[in-house]
Structure 1
Amino acid sequence: MKSLRTPKASLAKIEVLACVTAFLLMLLTISGSNRRRRNNRKLRFLLWAAYTLTSYLIVYTLGLMTEASFRNELLPVWATFLMIFFGSSDTYSVHSLEDCERWKNYVWQYALKIAGVSFLFIMSGIALPMISVLTLCLIVPLKVIRRATSLKIASGSGRQLTGKSIADYMQSEHQLSEGDLDPSQMRGYRYVVRKGKTIPMSLKKLKEREAAKQWEAPNYRKPLEITDRVVTIEKVWKCQGWLLRSGGGDKDSKLKDICLSFSLYKLLRLEFSDYSLPKQAHEKAWKLIRYLYAEGNGYERAFRVVELELSFLFDSFYTSYPTIFKPLGWRLKVVELLLLVIGVPVTIGLCFPRYDSNRPQDEVQLATTGGLSIDFLVTVLILLIFAWVELVQCFFMAISDWAKVALLCKYVRTNSWHENRRLEKLIRLICRTQLPKPWERKLQQYSLLESYDYTPPRWLYNRITYLFIDRIRDGQAQSSPAELSAEVKKAVFRSLMSNPEAEALKNGVSSLIRNEVEHELAWACRLDTQTQVIIVWHIATSMLEHRVRISDSNFIVATSLSKYLAYLVTFYPKLLFDQPYDSEYIFNVIVMEARRLLKDCKTIGERINKLNRIHKTTNVTNKVIIQGARLGQQLLDVENEPNFIWKVLAEFWAELMVYVAPSNNAIAHAQHLARGGEFVTHLWALVSHAGIKRENPVE
């Protein structure tokens, strides 16, 4: 134990902790954006642990440095890098939305750390040439400002502040194009893509304007001037440069759609700021969505636009990109890179190891047998990791969708770029660079008849551990996820488009009416809660999946959506409409009913057969699991023709999928963007733009 308290042991501990912190930063940088592309609990836990440990390790290591009873000229260098690491990962600025609200706490933490490091510099009395340390120290405030600004913008008050001008502008935007609206050419769609530096009106200019109009009716909205510097969707489509022409470098409109997604992201962000749009704005957006659908495989294009829109939304909450791509932000990033290019080689050169005989006698160091300083090797390792992280982040930033929007908007504003074919091809190469898929593109699945007997391990999930980890309840066992197929997207979008005037959605009854089976089956849409509706239809679909199995697109649509909505009820009821704890209670009761009624049934076939016998012989009709069996039999009795049965089920589930999409809990959708994304979130974005609400269940 005494050997662990020696100066050399303390120095070794500091070096190990500094290296571990550097590797954790590298992990966050590499895997930070993967959390929105993979719904993987282990990955989320690993990244949460790295994100949380980094902060504590930095504080602890700085404490060891300031309390060290020995001298080492590299302590200030390591301390500086620890300070830089505290705000380095631009792709992982926060782990959860709650972290955004603590932006003041983050700033104060940094201030205290700076005070500790300053104390270390003063008290150490190190004779090391400080030009390298000072150069690196200049990076610290740049990172602090960027990350703190990102947190503030993503916080509740920040969202309201940044959304104010767009919200006020959209209150009258529809009036600018009355009688002259053409979605095919985006004529009349003056949605703002990029505002530029000159748009926000200064207080002085505002006072001058108000003084000149003092006798006019007052306007209390925040002004947003549409000048030549402002890029709108209409301007992007009107651009005559080769790069954005449909017959030139943008034949499939993918480049223009990047700008469209960004402008829609700005409107969707208003959902998180308590701002609302007028009915006319929603009607205008609905015409745009219908146009996207009308073009060939329009549902693919529409979902592509929404995927990218939600990617921007994720970045606005969980990364520093919104701050970096502000006019001043990227300039500060360039300065930061210059300091990196200067600071790293200078630090390595000035800290080059000397042999023990040339070092101060009272300085503690670790050395190999050959005399090469391990302290120096640790410093080089940290420097290389830091340099690698920064360069990788710059590469990601250069090919990010935010950079593409900035380049395309600059291209629209700069006529001279339209005549430079080499520049146009370079921009096209950057904008056409394929990035990893923006989300997992899978439908998580749950089958009640397969999983109701699942019991989680009590040693891990009990009354004590539920304070520390999310509790897994009885019957809560996921099935293997299903790929989000083109058939599912097409069916859901077709159901959405069957609502021509963006009227209130119905919970599946319309599909039953179209198939002329409403008199027999509509009762299953009028249950007390929508949770019960989903589970009843899910049980019926699961039974028919094993009794009337066919190879058909309707079969794929019905079974995939049935298990997906059951998954949402079971795991994430906050994304649906019933009160979440009501849904949890109903689910728990249904699991108990299933365990009692299907006791000793081992296989899915045995369970289905017993359900058929029970619903025919019992007088009890208010149990969900019996109602599901009854509905399954009724589907067979209506017309015992497999193709028709699965057509009814596919259209019902597609309509119900659209019905659950409207939500007042926008924050829940934003939280799930960091968990691999959800299909229902994409539909929520679509219906939010169109202003579509759900109708009360049919009485």
Structure 2
Amino acid sequence: MASLLQLFNEWEIQLLVLLSFVLQIFLFFTGGLRQRGAKFLSGIIWIAYLVADLVAVYALGLLSKLEENTHASQKGALPENHPLAFFWAPFLLLHLGGQDTITAFSLEDNSLWLRHLLNLVVQVALALYVFWKSTAWRNVHQLLVPGIFMFVAGIIKYGERTMALMYGNLQNISGYSTSDESKLNHRELDQDASYSSIVSFCLDSAPIVRHLFAGFTLLQIPQGFGAKTWTSYAQSDEVQLAKLAKLVDVELGIMYCDVYTKAAVLRTRSGILLRCTSQVSALVALVLFVVGNKQRYSRADVAITYTLFIGSFFLEVCAMLMMVMVSPWTWAWMKANKCVWLTRMSWMLVSSNIIGWPEEKPLWSNRMGQYNFLSYVGCEEKPSSSPWSERVTSMIRKMAKAVGKLFWLSKLLDIKYEEVDMDITESFAKEIRAILQSPFGGGQKQEWEHLSRFLHSMARELSDNFSAVIIRLHIATMIHLTEVSNVDAESVALVGICRKLSNYMMYLLVTQPVMLQVTATSAESVIQGFHNKFVTMMTATCNNGGKHVVLQILKEFLSKEDYTLSLPEPCKETLEEMRDMWVRIIMYAAGRSRPETHATQLARGGEFLTFIWLLMAHKSLGASVAFPIDLISPPPTFGPLMDVRYYAFDFRS
């Protein structure tokens, strides 16, 4: 045991440096996966993001103590066997500079850019102290010149990260200079716009989108950015839905890169100049190290040094390919400068299915979360054949029944995800067209031929709790969908859309209440209150009853909520109105959500609510979209959305 401990102490700094390098490789190749919602890796990436900085800082601190430990150590101590370890200090600065694909894990990291600037000063001073002490006391002057060049590269790399965090801060994201961004003047698009023209349009209007995410309305954006022209294309009735959806998709992709990567830095002249300087400095340091005398160093230390050199060059080459050569900004710059052949080659890379931004693949998660209240109370429909994962889930459910199903356990087990298909997107596009064509805008009175009685009964019993309203509408929707007989393909599609939209609002209420202007505590308490009442009624029948028993319990449960349940007869027209009702509710929530919550969700792949929010912004819609119940009855004095209306966000005011 003592020999193993001694061996570890002797090779501790080598292991730490190699661990820091491995973490940087992992972050580089996994950081970009968050853009498309790689939730299964999110926790691992978060741990690696935090540990990478801790390991690099700890290694620097350990290097600063090595010389002091030498005087008190016996022959064979670490500095005597590994004098080259001091040359690794600037490499640790490179690691602290992070990777181009992930500079910030969350939006809060950008807000703390001043703290990162202070860390930059402290860590650079510590690294210089370590290197100066080693060259002055250990007589390794042959490493002085290559070390200086590596320090130039490391300081620039660390500075790039700090600049990227500053640019990604929402307080600065709308204010930093965009003079280096190419002006393509492609804001006028026809209905048959190609993918390349859509990308050009999005790049040219990127400052407008940044202002919207920073909390500006369309009227507050300076006139030089052309906010009116930005909305003119999307407001055309002839615009194809697929083109408009792809337009919003590309804008979300650009916004993600601006906030969470170094894209905003690398597309500026100063950023490119600094990157070139860093690469040249590292290359000169490598050449000087190769031609220098390395006989006094152990083979293991020399191999580690070469690994750090080659690894850093490999990551930089990959970064230049992924962040610069494949960047649509590079293609736009070449196109603006009329480099025909380079423009074609760049577009081939940008539209590549492997490393680019292909038209067929979304640039956000393109998924909507699903949470069914019946799953919480344990009465969800079980699949006919259970795979291994379902069996494990079933075992956990049985273990939880002894103490009652916990809410956090329900969120862990019952949340699922569905792809956002064209049927759902078309539902929102249809409702937006109806709002824009009405003479009263978003607050127009709308006749709900089949749902009017149901909505009137809901309006009479509304409380001041938005969470309770959503849960009641969700349960009522589940009741109605179970009574629909799927006689044709159209009815089946409508049932699926209604279920997805209803479950999505419950998902937002459960996992992202801040996007609905509801506190997490109040949402959880309301859901658990419904759960306790519901479980009390169904405990005796749930295990033995079938689908019809659950349906009856649902009806009895809602009847005890102090209002009369007045669901209409199931038919295709009712399903269409129910679909429009949930579409309107989601649009209502999107129009009153805070922009910073959407920027936060981009780090997790983006929410469907963010997609709708930006789509509505293109149509100049915001807080003017009314809640469905308000369309059939005057809103109550203390309605369920009073707290939401306080934060009303209208793009036109």
What's the TM-score once normalised by structure 2's chain length?
A: 0.79
Q: 1:259 aligns with which of 172, 182, 200?
A: 200
Pick one of 592, 600, 612 that aligns with 1:671. 600
User: CA offsets, 1:570-618, max 9 Å, x none?
Assistant: 1111112445543333222112222222214446964652452574699
Preserved CA contact (<8 Å) 1:495 1:658: no
Which residue number in structure 1 is paired with residue 650 of structure 2?
none
User: Which of residues 317, 321, 340 is equivalent to 1:391?
Assistant: 317
Identity over the aligned pairs, expressed in percent?
A: 18
In structure 2, the partner of 1:13 is 12
Q: Among residues 305, 311, 325, which one is paired with 2:247 in the alignment?
A: 305
Structure 1 residues 152-202: Cα deviation after superposition (integer angstroms, max 9, x where no partner):
22224423533xx8xxxxxxxxxxxxxxxxxxxxxxxxxxxx6448xxxxx
Q: Which residue of 2 aligns with 1:318?
A: 260
Structure 1 match to 2:233: 288
Do the aligned residues in 1 keep the contact of 2:87 with 2:143 (CA within 8 Å)? no
Q: For residue 488 of structure 1, give the secondary structure of its aligned residue in structure 2.
A: helix
SS of residue matched to 2:568: helix
RMSD: 3.5
User: What one-letter code is carried by the residue in structure 1 that aligns with 2:64?
Assistant: T
1:131 maps to: 145
Q: Residue 234 of structure 2 contacts residue 244 of structure 2 at CA under 8 Å; is this kept in 1?
A: yes
Q: Which residue of 2 aligns with 1:30?
A: 29
2:385 paired residue number: none
In structure 2, the residue matched to 1:538 is 474
Shift of 1:531: 2.7
Separation in 1 of the partners of 2:557 and 2:615?
46
Distance 1:536 1:120 in 2: 64
Q: Distance in 2 between matches of 1:260 and 1:150?
A: 24
1:620 and 1:195 map into 2 onto residues whose CA distance is 63
Instruction: Give 2:208's aligned amino acid.
Output: L
Q: Deviations over 1:319-376 (max 9, x none)?
A: 1110111122122222323334443454355475x3xxxx3xxx8x5xxxxxxx2222
**Range that drifts further, 266-275 or 381-390:** 266-275
Instruction: Tell me, in whole angstroms, the C-alpha distance in 1 between the residues paired with 2:278 and 2:544.
Output: 61
Question: How many Å separate the matches in 2 of 1:272 and 1:483?
Answer: 24
What code does the residue aligned with 1:308 have? V
Letter in 1 for 2:238: A
- How far off its partner does 1:490 sit? 0.8
Aligned to 2:503: 563
8 Å CA contact retained: 1:478, 1:567: no
**CA distance in 2: counterparts of 1:611 and 1:531, whole angstroms:** 22
- Higher mean Cα deviation, 470-479 or 525-534? 470-479
Structure 2 counterpart of 1:144, from 124, 137, 158: 158
Per-residue CA shift, 1:14-43, capped at 9, x if unaligned? 111111111110111001011121251x41
| 5+ long unaligned stretches in structure 2 | 71-78, 380-392, 401-405, 636-653
Q: Which runs of structure 2 are paired with 1:227-626 in the superposition (5 Å)? A: 230-234=183-187, 252-278=193-219, 285-291=230-236, 294-295=238-239, 298-344=240-286, 346-348=288-290, 350=292, 354=295, 359=296, 365=298, 373-400=299-326, 403-412=327-336, 414=337, 417=338, 421-434=340-353, 435=357, 437-453=362-378, 472=408, 477-500=413-436, 505=442, 510=446, 513-524=447-458, 527-528=462-463, 529-550=465-486, 551=489, 552-602=492-542, 606=546, 609-612=549-552, 615=555, 620-622=560-562
**Equivalent position to 1:161, from 161, 175, 183:** 175
Aligned-pair CA distance for 1:558 = 1.0
In structure 1, distance between residues paired with 2:263 and 2:152: 21
Change (3 A) 1:383 1:452: farther
Distance of 2:46 and 2:263 partners within structure 1: 20
Residue 304 of structure 1 deviates from its aligned partner by 0.9
Indicate yes or no: 2:44 matched with 1:46: yes
Q: Which moved more, 1:153-162 or 1:319-328?
A: 153-162
Q: Tell me which moved more, 480-489 or 335-344.
A: 335-344
Alignment partners' CA distance in 1, 2:554 and 2:507 = 26
Rounded Cα–Cα distance in structure 1 between residues aligned with 2:301 and 2:561: 76
CA distance in 1, matches of 2:149, 2:274: 15
- The equivalent of 2:647 in structure 1 is none
State the TM-score, normalizing by the size of structure 1.
0.74
In 2: Cα distance, 1:618 partner to 1:385 partner: 63
* Contact 1:504–1:692 (CA under 8 A) maintained in structure 2: no
Using the alignment, how far apart are the partners of 1:11 and 1:383 within structure 2?
23
CA–CA separation in structure 2 for the residues paired with 1:409 and 1:621: 62
**Is contact 1:658-1:683 (8 Å) kept?**
yes
Using a 3 Å threshold, how does the CA distance of structure 1 residues 431 and 58 change in structure 2: closer, same or farther? closer
Following the alignment from structure 1 to structure 2, what is the Cα–Cα distance between the partners of residues 28 and 519? 55
The 8 Å contact of residues 475 and 554 in structure 2, kept in 1 or not, is answered as no
User: CA 1:349/1:282 → structure 2, altered by over 3 Å: closer, same or farther?
Assistant: closer
Change in Cα spacing, 1:261 to 1:484, as seen in structure 2 (3 Å) is same
CA drift of 1:290 comes to 2.4
Q: 8-17 or 343-352: which moved more?
A: 343-352
- In 2, the alpha carbon distance for the partners of 1:101 and 1:517 equals 46
Q: 2:10 and 2:128 mapped to 1: Cα distance? A: 19
Task: Find 1:650's aligned residue among 579, 588, 592.
Answer: 579
Return the offset for 1:506: 5.7
How many angstroms apart in 2 are the aligned matches of 1:521 and 1:607?
A: 26
CA distance in 2, matches of 1:395, 1:618: 58
CA contact (8 A) 1:299 1:493 kept: yes
Partner of 2:638: none
**Which letter maps to 1:654?**
V
Q: Offset at 1:483?
A: 1.6
State the shift of 1:405 in Å: 2.9
Instruction: Report the number of matched residues.
Output: 575
CA 1:604–1:149 in structure 2 vs 1: closer, same or farther (change >3 Å)? farther
Q: 1:663 to 1:605 in 2, by over 3 A?
A: farther
Q: What's the counterpart of residue 648 of structure 2?
A: none
Say if 1:274 and 1:432 are closer, same or farther in 2 by CA, change over 3 A: closer
> What one-letter code is carried by the residue in structure 1 that aligns with 2:453?
H
Cα deviation per residue 1:42-86 (whole Å; 9 max; x = unaligned)?
Answer: 411111111111111112111222212223332132222111110
Q: Which residue of 2 aligns with 1:680?
A: 609
- Say if 1:501 and 1:406 are closer, same or farther in 2 by CA, change over 3 A: farther
Q: Deviation of residue 498 (structure 1)?
A: 1.1
1-side partners of 2:609 and 2:167: how far apart?
Answer: 26
Alpha-carbon distance between aligned partners in 2 of 1:52 and 1:376, rounded to the nearest angstrom: 28
Q: Secondary structure at the match of 2:105?
A: coil
Range with bigger deviation, 17-26 or 62-71: 62-71
Seen in structure 2, the aligned counterparts of structure 1 residues 377 and 600 have a Cα distance that, compared at 3 Å, is farther
